[in-house]
Structure 1
Amino acid sequence: MLGFSPWQTFFLFLFSLIGSVINIPVYSVKVKQSVQEARLGSFTDFLYPQRSFSRQEMRSTIAINLGGAIIPVIISIYLVINNPHLMWQYLAGIVIMTTICY
């Protein structure tokens, strides 16, 4: 038992579902990426296009998802605070999952 009522569970699920489309940008990184361009002029260029490569500077944004990261972390913190007697089980679960995933 996690200690949530059915309505609380429903709304937590609903907020996570709605929040899954919201990304909160943390920072941006400049990256240089190769871009391939094909120039088409005649019919033979359609079959055998002339390709050229160039490097363009782009921005990559690092973001945190509201429904997939922030809401689950808040729920986890709530559960840890309200059930401190289960700390060893929490730590064992973290160690096991880290070992399996790593």
Structure 2
Amino acid sequence: MPANKKYLNTSPSQRFAKISAGLLGGYLVTVSLFLALSFWINHINVLMTLRYGGIILWAFLFVFAFLLKNGWRVWAIYIAITLLCCGLIYLGKIYNPII
């Protein structure tokens, strides 16, 4: 049974944006989130959690990229979250200079 045609009418640029946002953007969000957490919580426990929780979060973010219609909007969301986490990493370095 073929798929409904109205769900298949995405342009190649949107397809590329969704796939790249899911792969690369989801990875950037996952790593930056766990690194930001490692500056505020015990970093050994957080980085060990990254091994398994990171894969689950990355898979969720990969699927989330295909739920929205505009792939470039997904990129904008993922870059905003990554920059927010980078800001938290910067603040963590300022307030916890021992790490």
TM-score of the two chains, using structure 2 as the length reference: 0.32
- If asked which structure has higher relative contact order (CA below 8 Å, sep 6+), I would say 2
Report the structure, 1 or 2, having the larger strand content. 1
TM-score of the two chains, using structure 1 as the length reference: 0.31
The structure whose Rg is larger is: 1
